[in-house]
Amino acid sequence: MSLFVQKYGGTSVGTVERIESVAEKVIKFREQGHDMVVVVSAMSGETNRLIGLANQIQENPDSREMDVLVSTGEQVTIALLCMALKKRGYDARSYTGTQVKILTDSAHTKARIQDIDVSNMRADLDAGRVVVVAGFQGVDEHGNITTLGRGGSDTTGVALAAALKADECQIYTDVDGVYTTDPRVCEGARRLDKITFEEMLEMASQGSKVLQIRAVEFAGKYNVPLRVLHSFQDGPGTLITLDEDFSDMEQPVVSGIAFNRDEAKVTVAGVPDTPGVAARILAPIGAANIEIDVIVQNASADGTTDITFTVHRNDLEKAKTVLGKVCADVNAREVIADDKIAKVSIVGVGMRSHAGVASKMFDALAEDNINIQMITTSEIKIAVIIDERYLELAVRSLHKAFGLEAIEN
Amino acid sequence: MSLFVQKYGGTSVGTVERIESVAEKVIKFREQGHDMVVVVSAMSGETNRLIGLANQIQENPDSREMDVLVSTGEQVTIALLCMALKKRGYDARSYTGTQVKILTDSAHTKARIQDIDVSNMRADLDAGRVVVVAGFQGVDEHGNITTLGRGGSDTTGVALAAALKADECQIYTDVDGVYTTDPRVCEGARRLDKITFEEMLEMASQGSKVLQIRAVEFAGKYNVPLRVLHSFQDGPGTLITLDEDFSDMEQPVVSGIAFNRDEAKVTVAGVPDTPGVAARILAPIGAANIEIDVIVQNASADGTTDITFTVHRNDLEKAKTVLGKVCADVNAREVIADDKIAKVSIVGVGMRSHAGVASKMFDALAEDNINIQMITTSEIKIAVIIDERYLELAVRSLHKAFGLEAIEN
């Protein structure tokens, strides 16, 4: 007998019929003798409906009240799921974030979990009840309702699994697992049976949207085995665990190819090459709350240098405004912006122990005449910035070059 | 400077535009220097939408989960109203029943208030904030969300006013006050400036739908001055207070005419007239949770008696089933049911000190050839059961007979 925490997203509970299907699924596990804690999101569309009401009043409404408003979405779902379970003769009890209680800081709309009181849930599990918890929400020390930010229901699931020392946290989604890359871009994309937290984290931060980064971080930190599954199809999904769980010597060097089109590139060209100049350029960007991803600095012969970095496309205009001023301050020649770029990354813990991964990647791209504009690496990832037009081609080439079609599941 | 508790019902907060109007109204009082606590219902239609979702799962869903579900309705409104107040530069804070906290018993869907913690609200008022509270809901000692039953928002308003020792509890509705009778039935109906708790209670329990009986009881018990006002029209409304506030010697004998069509009449005929027989007939009715209103027993010459009583029309079939069995047990002749009846009542504290009120009532009805089927009286009320067809005629005759058109407001 195991303890499972299952999380069902908005699409999985989007109608009363689907909530009833979720109840059936939960009961299947219950019948196998497992203890069940179920975390649910708001019914799809509901959060947007509530935000729409608020926006009729004001574009940026008070964040405390925003949390009071949107937290009702999950509260509706927990009640309906418990009704569906009880109708089928299974005892169940719903919990809001306040009722659990999931203690967070007071950063409304983006609160962080500080502590989870498991006593009520534990008592219910001991009494044979299914515990149903509203995802995405908590309560601060003053009793104010907080939310963890959109997608925070994954984090709720993992945090509950960690606090309850669950055997597995199962995230039910609209895909049947984590893929070597996006099947819509690359036909040969294949579902992975297993992937490490580290790899999943790189995949997520490089653009794979299957799981929230924060939930993966949390799962890694507390070593909560995480499984991604399809809500309406049977299948083993993808298990995300610690490195050491991989005893398979045949583990491939690269596990997956991630990509995104969300970034834009900015170059401050002809900067006098003096110590501290990079900091003088980047500090105002940070001060303007613009996040920087890849940074490259090219030293040059004529005593000037070019500093290039990428930001989120939504921040490009703001970045250009900030840099216009900085450019004059540091006597740079000009600011060049390009939002027609894409980032492609290869990710794999196997890269640690395998040489020649980078050159294989660059060879594959060169063979297709794809120019690499920027490169950044970590221990288990190599990311390149390329012209957006070549994105799909690059993903397919790399997928093939690293033999990902051939992974046996 | 006074402390006012204002309550706005579902129609008054039915759209975002109306919520903004409520904000403007609250601000008008705030600008006059008053401390404001505002109780709101769910946006009109929302509670029914939520119940509809639940009923897609089950006709009678679990009552604990029903409370979790429907309490979200008011939670949405408190957040939106606070946003509207803040947008206009007025500090405000919303409270769910749990957050206040409004402690109730654990009778889900019909909980009773046991205690109200005023400390948080008091601190907010002292800090100059408008306090916005979700009506209709509370929390039990175990942290479960409870609701007070439909219409319970009035009760929340009065209970908060009592706990905070507010100067007045103002109930905003879709009518501009309490009328001598329903203006849709009697053209001459007039708004009353004042009415006593006792009279209002009789009016409400006799069919006037302006206020919930429970809220009036509560206000009377704790002597909370209650005012009924129109949400969207200016005007003094009707003040409901204790008897002694009426120094006006011209106080009319009768304050209002109430009526309802909700009842049905049942007669158990030809019952052997022995001691305890009424109890043997009525006990099973009580045991079946059927409420009885008017009861009349006629002794007869032949050693049998007829026992007649009224029940809610919705309970008539159940009552007939119960009585079918009882009828045999007590050797009664037959059970006769009639759901084509109506009840008309005259209400007024002045009746205490005036003789001849009953005969004046009966004369007025006789003049219009309206037959009285049953009569019941209290110190400040006389109610008669008549054929439903004569209801409007009876109301108009009595309204005129007691000079209610002539009341000067």
The B304-312 sheet, strands edge to edge? B292-298, B304-312, B263-272, B334-338
Lowest mean pLDDT among A328-332, A387-391, B143-147: A328-332
- Identity at A281, one-letter amino acid code: I
Above 80 in pLDDT, residue A246? Answer: no
The alpha carbon of residue A85 is apart from the nearest alpha carbon of chain B, in Å, by 10
Of A68, A83, A143, which is closest to B57 when you measure between CB atoms?
Answer: A83
Q: Do B16 and A78 touch (CB under 8 A)?
A: no
Instruction: Kindly determine whether residue A83 and residue B58, on different chains, have CB atoms separated by under 8 Å.
Output: yes
Q: Which residue has the tokens 């003053």?
A: A142
Q: Which residues of B touch A84 (CB under 8 A)?
A: 57
Rounded to whole angstroms, how far apart are CA atoms B102 and B95?
A: 10
Instruction: Kindly give, in sequence order, each residue whose CB lies less than 8 Å from that of residue B346, ignoring residues fewer than 6 positions away.
Output: B254, B256, B257, B357, B361, B381, B382, B398, B402
Which candidate from B65, B83, B96 shows the least CB-CB separation from A62? B83
CA pseudo-torsion sign A43, A49, A53, A54: positive
Residue B409 has pLDDT above 50, yes or no: no
Q: Is the pLDDT of residue B120 over 50?
A: yes
Q: Which of A58, A60, A62, A86 to mutate to test the interface with B (most CBs of B within 10 A)?
A: A62
Q: By C-alpha distance, which of A345, A328, A324 is closest to A336?
A: A324
Residue A80, pLDDT above cutoff 80: yes
Give the DSSP letter of residue B179: B
Nearest CA-CA distance, residue A133 and chain B, Å: 12
Contact B109, B147 (CB under 8 A): yes
Distance CA B242, CA B220 (A): 7
Q: Which helix (H) or strand (E) holds A24?
A: helix A16-31
Instruction: From chain B, pick out residues whose CB is under 8 angstroms from the CB of A94.
Output: 64-65, 68
Write out pLDDT tens, residues A314-357: 999 999 999 988 888 888 999 999 999 999 999 998 887 777 89
For chain A, the average pLDDT equals 91
| pLDDT classification of B205: cutoffs 50, 70, 90 | confident
Handedness of CA A81, A87, A93, A98 (dihedral sign): positive
Determine the distance in angstroms separating the CA of A19 from the nearest CA of chain B, rounded to an integer. Answer: 9
Mean pLDDT value across residues B145-153: 85
Whole-angstrom Cα distance, residue A79 to residue B64? 9
pLDDT at B246 over 70: no
User: pLDDT value at position A212?
Assistant: 84
Say which amino acid occupies A179. Y
Q: Calculate what percentage of chain B has a pLDDT beyond 70.
A: 96
Backbone angles phi, psi at B228, to 5 degrees: -100, 125
Q: Where are the beta strands (DSSP E) in A329-378?
A: 334-338, 341-347, 372-378
Other CB atoms closer than 10 Å to residue A233's CB: what's the count?
10
- Return mean pLDDT, chain B: 91
Nearest in space to A311 (alpha carbons), one of A332, A298, A295, A335: A295
Query: Which residues fall within 8 angstroms of residue A52, CB to CB, at 6 or more apart?
Result: none
- Give the pair of three-digit tokens for residue B32: 């006059």
pLDDT at A224 > cutoff 90: yes
- C-alpha A289/C-alpha A318 separation (Å) is 10
Lowest mean pLDDT of A166-170, A249-253, B258-262, name the range.
A249-253
Cβ contacts of B130 within 8 Å, gap of 6 or more: B26, B30, B36, B37, B38, B82, B85, B90, B91, B92, B93
pLDDT tens digits for range B58-88: 999 999 999 999 999 999 999 999 999 999 9
Q: Are B203 and B215 in contact (CB under 8 A)?
A: no
Write out the residue limits of the CATH 3.40.1160.10 domain(s) in chain B. 3-174
Order of strands across the sheet that contains A292-299: A292-299, A304-312, A263-272, A334-338
d(CA B323, CA B305): 16
pLDDT for the residue numbered B245? 47
Q: Which residues pair with A139 in a beta bridge?
A: A103, A145
Q: pLDDT (tens digit, 9 = 90+) per residue, B164-173?
A: 999 999 999 9
**Given the structure tokens 């509970």, which residue do they identify?**
A13
> Does the CB of B16 have a partner CB in chain A at under 8 Å?
yes
- Please provide the CATH number assigned to the domain covering B264-338: 3.30.2130.10
Write phi, then psi, for A270 (nearest 5 degrees). Answer: 65, 45
Interval A147-170 mean pLDDT: 92
Residue B88 token pair? 């206009």
From residue B331, give the alpha-carbon distance in Å to each of A229, A345, B273, B310. Answer: 69, 91, 10, 21
DSSP, residue by residue, A46-95 = HHHHHHHHHHHH-SS--HHHHHHHHHHHHHHHHHHHHHHHHHTT--EEEE
Give A 65-124 residues with CB within 8 A of chain B.
65-66, 68-69, 71-72, 75-76, 78-80, 82-84, 86-87, 93-94, 96, 98-99, 120
CB contact under 8 A, A79 and B58: no
- Could you tell me the two tokens for B146? 């409870």
pLDDT at B353: 75
Position B408 pLDDT exceeds 70:
no
Tell me which of A365 and A379 has the higher pLDDT.
Answer: A365
Q: Is the pLDDT assigned to residue B399 strictly greater than 90? A: yes
For residue B388, what are its two tokens?
């439903």
Looking only at the bridges linking them, the beta strands covering B238-241 and B263-272 are: unpaired
Q: How far is residue B371's CA from residue A338's CA, in Å, rounded to a whole number?
A: 91
Q: What pLDDT does B299 receive?
A: 73
**Position A184 pLDDT exceeds 80:** yes
Is the pLDDT confidence value at A408 over 50? no
Q: For the residues A275-304, what does the mean pLDDT come to?
A: 86
- State the average pLDDT over residues B358-377: 92
User: Of all residues in chain A, what percent carry a pLDDT higher than 90?
Assistant: 71
The widest CA-to-CA distance across chain A, in whole angstroms, is 79
In this predicted structure, the answer to whether residue A249 has a pLDDT above a threshold of 60 is no
- Give the pLDDT of residue B329: 85
Place of tokens 């009525």: B282
CATH level 3 topology of A3-174: Carbamate kinase (3.40.1160)
> B75–A76: do the CB atoms touch at under 8 Å?
no
Q: What's CA B360's distance to the chain center, in Å?
A: 28
Flag whether residue A153 sits within 8 Å of chain B, measured between CB atoms. no
Distance CA B263, CA A335 (A): 82
- ipTM of the complex model: 0.83
The token duo for B186 is 């009697």
Fold of B341-403: VC0802-like (3.30.2130)
Question: With an 8 Å Cβ cutoff, are B83 and A99 in contact?
Answer: no
Across A74-78, A352-356, B209-213, the highest mean pLDDT is recorded for A74-78
pLDDT of residue B274: 83
Q: What tens digit of pLDDT does each residue of A262-288 get? A: 899 999 999 988 888 888 899 999 888
Report whether B92 contacts B85 (CB < 8 A): yes
Contacts (Cβ under 8 Å, ≥6 apart) of B182: B189, B208, B259, B395
What does the radius of gyration of chain B's CA atoms come to, in whole angstroms? 24
- The alpha carbon of residue A218 is apart from the nearest alpha carbon of chain B, in Å, by 28
